Structures are given as structure tokens and as C-alpha cells.
Structure 1
Amino acid sequence: MSKVLEITDNEFEQEVYRTEQPVLVYFWASWCGPCKLVSPSVSWIADTYSDRLKVVKLEVDPNPESVAKCKVEGVPALRLIKDKEIIESREGAIGKQQLQSLVETFLK
């Protein structure tokens, strides 16, 4: 079972802003082809770094508030958030190695 938590606008504050760990927020859409390529890497990150990183996914269409808060302009999109601040931002498909490097940079 993947350790990626699926959330909505209603849960964003609690699950992303009110947590001690850094949070990787994965914004996706069911109609997005590149999202299907990125999803397995996001799940792998969640499973591999669950002791140091919380990973959540948010579908963009039904959750416009969180999309606006994080200034998401396209999907797939990733936001690494710590202490209510976006510390890293990526839009577009990203490979597993790139994602791992991005995460490890901020978990050291």
C-alpha cells in the first residue's frame, strides 16, 4: 500500500501546513497523461522517505483553493512545503532520479 495520502481543499491546512515534517504535494488530474508517468515515482518517494517526508496528492479540478494557494499553473506539479513555505516548486513531468535528487537536497 502506498504511503501517499490523497487530500482535498478541506484537508490542505491540516495535512500540509500543520505538520512537523516537510510535505511533498503532488498536484495531478485524471485527464493528464504525464501525471500517469509521474505517479509511480511519487509513490516510490512516499514509501522510501516516509520517515522524513510526508507525501500528499491533490486532484486539481475539484480543489481550486489549494491550486491557487500553491500557484499551480500546470500538471503534474510538485510543491515541497516546510513550515508553511514553498521551498521547491516543479511543474511538468519529472523522472524518478530527478525527483529523488530534489527530495534528498532538502532532507539533508
Structure 2
Amino acid sequence: MVELTKDNFEEEVFKSEKPVFVDFWGDKCKVCLRLMPGVNELSKKYSDKIKFASLNISMSRRTAIAQRVLGLPTMIIYSGAEKVSIITPDKISSVDDVENFIKEYYNTL
């Protein structure tokens, strides 16, 4: 999983040849930290068609704000510079929720 920063976000996400799943998380987000091991496993399972990356908003708050991330965890799939799918905190309670979100897009590729 690629660790994103304000310095590499555009290059790694907007200029990627593959769609990119971005996990926006924070150091104090207990749900984020609980989901992280499962999301890392999903990255191995679906990385043939989707690139996986994460952005710690504690270190890149402006980047998160620019992407209109209003709560954590938020996960967005980008294709080019376009957001093609978003899952917000109100729809994430388990790794299964995240996997179903990924599958919906993955199955269209």
C-alpha cells in the first residue's frame, strides 16, 4: 500500500494508470486503526486491477480538505483525477463493508 503525502498525492493518485483506492485515516480514529489490517489484506486481494494507497490526514490535512473528506474513515476510488466511488463513515462498520465497496467497482473493470 502506497503511503500518500501532500507531495506525492497528485502523482500517485491522479496520474496513476490504474484506478486508485485511497484510505483516508487519522491517528486518533479508532475505527480507522481497527480496519487498517483488514484493508491491507484487501489490497493484496484486489491489487491486480486497483492500486491501494492511504493518507494519514494528521500529516496532510489540507490534502484531505481539498478532497472534501469530512469524516473518518473515508475511502475513495479515483480513476484519473475523478472520484468514481466514495464510502463515508456512516456506511463503514466492518472490513466486509469496505470489501463490498471495493467489489462494486472492481467488478466493473
TM-score, L = length of structure 2: 0.88
CA distance in 1, matches of 2:69, 2:9: 14
Q: Residue 14 of structure 2 corresponds to which residue in structure 1?
A: 17
| Identity %, equivalent residues | 24
Deviations along 1:12-71, one digit per CA (max 9) or x if unpaired, are: 001001111111100111111111121122101111111111111111122123202210
Q: Residue 68 of structure 1 corresponds to which residue in structure 2?
A: 65
RMSD, aligned CA: 1.3
Q: Does the C-alpha gap of structure 1 residues 67 and 11 become closer, same or farther in structure 2, counting only changes over 3 Å?
A: same
Unaligned runs of 5+ in 1: none
Out of 3, 18, 25, which is 1:6 matched to? 3
4+ long deviations beyond 6 Å = none
- More displaced stretch, 92-101 vs 74-83: 92-101
Contact 2:4 2:54 in 1 (8 A): yes
Q: Tell me if 1:95 matches 2:94.
A: yes
How many pairs does the alignment contain?
105
CA distance in 1, matches of 2:79, 2:42: 17
Unaligned runs of 5+ in 2: none
